[in-house]
Amino acid sequence: MQIFIDGIEDRTPVAIAAHVARLISCGRLAQGERLPTVRQLAGALAVSPATISHAWQALAAAGLIVSRGRSGTFVLGTAPRWLPARSRSMAGQPSEVRFDLSRGTPDPLLLPTLAPALSRLQEHAVTPSYQALPVIPELLAVLERTWPYRAEALTVVDGALDAVSRSLEQVTRFGDRVIVESPGFPPFFDLLDQLGLQRLPVTIDCHGIVPAAFHAALRHAPAAVILQPRAQNPTGASMPGERAAELARLLLTVPQAADTIVIEDDHSGEISIAPDVSLGSWLPSRVLHVRSYSKTHGPDLRIAALGGPTELIDAIVARRMLGPGWTSRMLQSILHDLLTEGDSMAQVSEARRIYFARQRALRVTLGECGLELPPADGINMWLPVHNEREALVRLAAAGIRVAGGSPFLANEHSGEFIRVTAAALTADVGFVATALVQAAVPPASAAQAADPRWA
């Protein structure tokens, strides 16, 4: 019991929750350890049971503890083992909160309506041959017309991560080095671990990968680079054409990078406010460009387009023929309809406008509260904090759930951050902005909250 008493600065629910969060973070409270009952701890701290109950609710909302009824309350164990490592660390306990800004998924109400496209499907799922072309011709024509550069070949796969995974399997071997953004997308790090590949983290700024860091990493002869050209997850950074050209120049001039392949994940597509950009405009023979439709048209479509040199695309298609074969042509027909039908196109355009407005409203309000951040594209925003665990707990106590920054960092101990899905915030922007500033930054430091890399 003494561990819960020593070091508590005050007896408010938020302070008690933050103290317990620190005990969990430093390992003094282990996963699965049973916590004192509400009445036991209330008595020891000379506070009301309601105070402890509110503290426990905040910790549960932050995914740090779980109540098991009469058995007691326990430090939360691991998430389901079928989730990859970083996904496990991001998976919180399902609980009611006022604002869930942790998911990184599109607003379901802003996805285009599927009913018209479904109504135009043919009655039977007919495929003339198992060896038929993997992409239906009408969808292929749309992809060729809208691709950011002239790719030699295009195909369709089962989502962006499937595209990245299959690309890596073709261009890397066990032990190869791969350049990744830090912060970056956690499943990329898990994927590299699964394939036995070594991460080469490079820093990013508000325009994407920092050229100096990229130049240094290229000297290690990486087999591949994974980058997000627009609405980078988690930061919302989008790469201008000038930055893309500079990175392409480095790939051409650094001798150790002569064989490096670039894999680009354009996951936000048409909800991004930035122009479409690809290093393929300068290096078409060395770029595999992925365009996902999860954020724009719905994650459950599980569909993405992949373009690049014929040799690599053909190899990826051939490997898929020994697995799923092809992406459902029914899904391809639905996607084609959504990409060409006027109402669906207008709905995606309106979603882009609304996401931008929500991002801007939160950023401006944060600035008014003393936390200046650069503009962010897409649906996510990246905030530096004084202490990640404490920020999660304090926000949970205010009814706000966000994602902890640790899984997004390719370099451990490279800072304290949280990711906020700003585009999920539809109301009470002032309340949320104030809570973010109060939870994330010590009051005396609020004016200097922005990370200098983002200045």
DSSP-derived secondary structure letter, 34: B
Predicted confidence band at 84 (pLDDT cuts at 50, 70, 90)?
confident
The answer to whether residue 129 scores a pLDDT higher than 50 is: yes
Record the pTM: 0.85
Among residues 236, 413, 272, which one has the least CA distance to residue 348?
A: 272
Surface-to-core class of residue 196, CB atoms within 10 Å of its CB (0-12 exposed, 13-18 middle, 19+ buried): exposed
Mean pLDDT of 273-283: 97
User: Which pLDDT value is given to residue 177?
Assistant: 98
Predicted confidence band at 411 (pLDDT cuts at 50, 70, 90)?
confident
How many C-beta atoms surround the C-beta of residue 354 within 10 A?
16
Report helix, strand or coil for 228.
coil
- Architecture, CATH, for domain 130-339: 3-Layer(aba) Sandwich (3.40)
Predicted confidence band at 160 (pLDDT cuts at 50, 70, 90)?
very high
The answer to whether residue 444 scores a pLDDT higher than 80 is: no
- What does the pLDDT look like over 48-82, one tens digit per residue? 999 989 888 888 877 788 888 878 888 876 556 66
Estimate the crossing angle of helix 49-61 against helix 388-397, to 10 degrees. 120
Could you tell me the residue ranges of all domains in the chain? 2-75, 85-109+344-454, 130-339
Continuous segment of H or E residues that includes residue 417: strand 417-420
Query: Average pLDDT over the chain, rounded to whole?
Result: 89
Which of 28-42, 229-243, 276-290, 298-312 has the least mean pLDDT? 28-42
User: Which pLDDT value is given to residue 454?
Assistant: 41
The answer to whether residue 94 scores a pLDDT higher than 70 is: no
Structure tokens at 366: 């944060």
How many C-beta atoms surround the C-beta of residue 109 within 10 A?
8
Q: What is the distance between the alpha carbons of residues 372 and 54, in angstroms, rounded to a whole number?
A: 31
The answer to whether 4 touches 20, Cβ cutoff 8 Å, is yes
Predicted confidence band at 249 (pLDDT cuts at 50, 70, 90)?
very high
Which of 89-98, 312-321, 397-406 has the least mean pLDDT? 89-98
The answer to whether residue 150 scores a pLDDT higher than 50 is: yes
Which of 4-8, 333-337, 361-365 has the least mean pLDDT? 4-8
CA end-to-end span of the chain:
45
Predicted confidence band at 453 (pLDDT cuts at 50, 70, 90)?
very low
The answer to whether 16 touches 56, Cβ cutoff 8 Å, is no
CATH classification (class only), 2-75: mainly alpha
Could you say which of 1.10.10.10, 3.40.50.2300, 3.40.50.300, 3.90.1150.10 is the CATH number of the domain covering 85-109+344-454?
A: 3.90.1150.10
Structure tokens at 131: 């060896």
Q: What is the distance between the alpha carbons of residues 51 and 66, in angstroms, rounded to a whole number?
A: 17
